[in-house]
Amino acid sequence: MVLLSQIDYGIKFGINLNNSSNISIISQNFDTNISKKDYSGYNMGGYISLQGLLMDLRGELHYVKIKNSNDLVQDRIEIPVTIGYKILPFLSLFLGPSFQYVLDESSSTFLLSKLEDKSTMGLNLGTRLYLGKIQLDLRYERGLNEMETKIINQNNLNVAKIDSRKSLISIGMSYKIN
């Protein structure tokens, strides 16, 4: 019995919706209205997958850009690694960790301090639909550790902090090259 039937690889892109962040106001001098739950963005990259009869192991590499209406923008690299279980020949459920590294974080509205820790880890849970060479996935991602950025004023005083730990829904499409 062959456990691994093939190795697949391809390209992937998707949209990220509803990334919520927690904003704590530290100073009464900070009177800007900040929206906490309107992050959206996109991801693009590639994947490699070891396909078995009922299970698969899939690694992905994504470039991710997210933004909200307050002009908070974040660019990062993500590496999700998932184990999938095929519940039907064309449908699987998957679960696994996701590792992120923030390349840049900026705002045209606020002065931001540098991130103290640019790497974080999260958890993916989702489902994937196989349609020939095209795969569609829907996943929920949740960050497991804090990712804090401080909003500072002109005197370099901390007036608020943003915990941009992910909590989002992602809709993706993959195209199998081989």
Residue predicted with more confidence, 63 or 39: 63
Which of 3.40.50.970, 3.60.150.10, 2.40.160.20, 1.10.760.10 would CATH assign to domain 4-20+33-147+167-176?
Answer: 2.40.160.20
Cα 149 from Cα 10, distance rounded (Å): 34
Each residue's pLDDT tens digit, 17-58: 866 555 554 545 544 555 555 668 899 999 999 999 899 999
Phi, psi of 164 (to 5 degrees): -95, 30
State if pTM tops 0.85.
no
HSE-up of residue 33 (Cα within 13 Å, Cβ side): 1
Model confidence at 152, in pLDDT bands (50, 70, 90)? very low
Residue 59 has pLDDT above 90, yes or no: yes
User: Per-residue pLDDT for 85 more than 90?
Assistant: yes
96-147 residue pLDDT tens? 999 999 887 766 655 555 556 678 888 999 999 999 999 999 999 887 766 5
Rounded Cα gap, residues 136 and 19, in angstroms: 20
CB distance 96 to 82 below 8 Å = yes
Please count the other Cβ atoms lying within 10 Å of the Cβ belonging to residue 74.
25
d(CA 164, CA 66): 11
